[in-house]
Amino acid sequence: MMLGGIEAGGTKFVLAVGSAPGAIAARHVIPTRDPEVTLAEAAEWFAAQGTVSALGIGSFGPVELDPSSERWGFITNTPKPGWADCDIAGTLGRALGGVPVGFDTDVNAAALAEHRTAGGGGGSLAYLTIGTGIGGGLVLEGRPVHGIAHPEIGHIYPRRHPQDMEFAGICPHHGDCLEGLASGPAILARWGKSLSELPADHPGHAIIADYLAQACHTIFATVAVEEVVIGGGVANTPGLVERVAERARALDAGYLPGGRRHTVIRPRLGGDSGIVGAMLLAEAAGKA
């Protein structure tokens, strides 16, 4: 039995095969171009690895996750040119001979991988990725949260920082939602540099940490997860995650009953959370 996994991002697709989620035998990275070229190249690579028995896809979104919908497995109204209404799961499943396909958001896949690495069981956590956009996945009692769709934590509205009242935000739908204020492009639009390129004493570090801490506190207060795991390119800024953790504790002011059991951490799997999560989706699909 060989599993295939895809971490489908807006910039690149990470492909992997292996006998188990924690036993990746080969991986490959391709740029995200138009769907026809990208999906064909992915299918060609998998075919060259041998017979894949199940495929897991953790995809950028929004995506359709309702298993009763005829559009299950589609990327829906994404702003990424050419990818709206793309049947990513169906196209790849058919290209690989009709294998079972597990499908979820990229952040839910990463959350599943981090949950398993933390010991699995009935624990709970959220995974936030801070990069070109901001996305969030939730695992409660060992299961990813879907609801009528999937969480869109990047589009909550944080309270504006007093030193950041003039910036309108860049989200084309919401302006100054979390993604509109704290994503990589929002930082670049505001200060002309990435967060890691700003001087250590630049106020941008405290401003971005405050917005992300507000998101963490909202997650702790609403769904009572034990951990918020923060990944993505912006999160690689030295000291940012630690600053977010400190600010989230200050925002709580000792109120939440979980106390210091609510933690903000870096991914245990480093940059592999998404692809390991995709392999977990493949494993589950193969057993279904």
Give the chain as a 3 state SS string. CCEEEEEECCCEEEEEEEEECCEEEEEEEEECCCHHHHHHHHHHHHHHHCCCCEEEEEECCCECCCCCCCCCCEECCCCCCCCCCEEHHHHHHHHCCCCCEEEEEHHHHHHHHHHHHCCCCCCCEEEEEECCCEEEEEEECCEECCCCCCCCHHHCCCCCCCCCCCCCCCECCCECCHHHHHCHHHHHHHHCCCHHHCCCCCHHHHHHHHHHHHHHHHHHHHHCCCEEEEECCHHHCCCHHHHHHHHHHHHHCCCCCCHHHCEEECCCCHHHHHHHHHHHHHHHHHHC
In a domain, 159, yes or no: yes
**pLDDT tier at 244, thresholds 50, 70, 90:** very high
Distances (CA, A) of 120 to 124, 132, 194: 9, 29, 35
Residues 76 and 149 both lie in one domain: no
CA quadruple 151, 155, 156, 162: dihedral sign: positive
Residues 100 and 238 both lie in one domain: no
Residues 60 and 128 both lie in one domain: no
Residues 101 and 208 both lie in one domain: no
Residues 145 and 231 both lie in one domain: yes
Residue 123's pLDDT is what?
Answer: 80
Proportion of the chain above pLDDT 70, given as a percent? 100
Proportion of the chain above pLDDT 90, given as a percent? 87
146 pLDDT above the threshold of 90: no
In a domain, 274, yes or no: no
pLDDT in tens, 100-114: 999 999 999 999 999
Residue 138's pLDDT is what?
Answer: 94
141 pLDDT above the threshold of 90: no
pLDDT in tens, 250-281: 999 999 999 999 999 999 999 999 999 999 99
Residue 32's pLDDT is what?
Answer: 95
Residue 78's pLDDT is what?
Answer: 87
In a domain, 283, yes or no: yes
149 pLDDT above the threshold of 80: no
- The mean pLDDT value for 12-28 works out to 96
CATH of the domain at 24: 3.30.420.40
Residues 255 and 126 both lie in one domain: yes
In a domain, 51, yes or no: yes
Q: What angle do CA 152, 6, 267 make, to 5 degrees?
A: 60
In a domain, 153, yes or no: yes
**pLDDT tier at 163, thresholds 50, 70, 90:** very high
In a domain, 76, yes or no: yes
Residue 16's pLDDT is what?
Answer: 98
Residues 100 and 203 both lie in one domain: no
pLDDT in tens, 63-82: 999 989 999 999 998 878 99
Residues 125 and 194 both lie in one domain: yes
Residue 215's pLDDT is what?
Answer: 98
Domain total of the chain: 2
In a domain, 45, yes or no: yes
91 pLDDT above the threshold of 90: yes
**pLDDT tier at 148, thresholds 50, 70, 90:** confident
**Across 73-77, 90-94, 119-123, least confident range:** 119-123
Residue 189's pLDDT is what?
Answer: 98
**Across 23-37, 66-80, 86-100, least confident range:** 66-80
Query: Angle 240-252/203-223 helices, nearest 10 degrees?
Result: 50
Q: Which residue has the higher pLDDT, 147 or 144?
A: 144
- Tell me the whole-structure pTM to 2 decimals: 0.92
Residue 61's pLDDT is what?
Answer: 86
Residue 3: which region, alpha, beta or left (left: phi > 0; alpha: psi -120 to 50)? beta
Question: How high is the mean pLDDT of the chain?
Answer: 95
Domain interval for residue 173: 119-267
pLDDT in tens, 224-241: 999 999 999 999 999 999
121 pLDDT above the threshold of 80: no
Residues 161 and 252 both lie in one domain: yes
Residues 70 and 181 both lie in one domain: no
In a domain, 113, yes or no: no
